[in-house]
Amino acid sequence: MLRNLSTKMKNKAIFLDRDGTIICERHYLSNLSDIELLPGAKKALRLLKSAGFLLIVITNQSGIARGFFDRRFVQSAHRLINRKLEGAIDDFYVCPHSPEAHCSCRKPKTGMLRAAAGKWKIDLSASWVIGDKKSDTMLGRDNLMRAILIGKGSSCRSLFNWKPAAEIILKNERNIMRRM
């Protein structure tokens, strides 16, 4: 009983990839002026937030380890992205390592996910992952979350599916409410 109660008090979240999911993919984005929201992202994220989800970005940024840009640049980029999204993002987690470092945070490893879930008291089974790569959806499935692969190829010209993605999640939420 107690366990059920505490589960109910937990938060639900949407774990979002950044590049190719919220903003247009730029190969190792290193200019703030290259930041462009993907079509439909802002509206969809606003809808999901009003449905009670925390919005948490988890992003691999090996460009830091490679020396293409530094942590401070990434922080500025995240401030700008969140300004464009009118503050919808609750938190940003960044893996700065190269794949060769075999760290515990680089997706599809779970370091960032675990850190966020602990800090924000997130019930993963009520949460989702949205990304444009298999490493994003793998992270979701390996951790018993539902995952949505959005778009393909991830340039700003490619087909984007933010509207249906938001609708899938919101429809699922309505079904849960109906069963309660």
> What is the per-residue binding string for Zn ion in 102-141, x denoting contact by CB under 5 A?
-x-xx-----------------------------------
Per DSSP bridges, beta strands 91-95 and 54-60 are parallel
Q: Is 61 helix (H, G, I), strand (E, B) or coil?
A: coil
Instruction: Give yes or no for residue 18 binding Zn ion (CB under 5 A).
Output: no
Of residues 12, 13, 17, the one with CA closest to residue 149: 17
Determine contact, residues 133/153, Cβ cutoff 8 Å. Answer: no
DSSP state of 23: B
Task: Report H helices in 52-95.
Answer: 71-84
Question: Of the ranges 80-88, 91-99, 119-127, 139-147, which one interacts with Zn ion (CB under 5 A)?
Answer: 91-99
The answer to whether residue 91 is catalytic is no
Minimum CB–partner distance for residue 157 and Zn ion (Å): 30
Q: Which does 97 bind (CB under 5 to 8 A by kind): Zn ion, Mg ion, none?
A: Zn ion
Q: Where are the beta strands (DSSP E) in 61-138?
A: 91-95, 128-131
Q: Which listed residue (17, 70, 90, 123) is catalytic?
A: 17
Q: Which does 20 bind (CB under 5 to 8 A by kind): Mg ion, Zn ion, none?
A: Mg ion
The answer to whether residue 19 is catalytic is yes
Binding site for Mg ion (CB under 5 A): 17, 19-20, 132
Catalytic positions, please? Answer: 17, 19
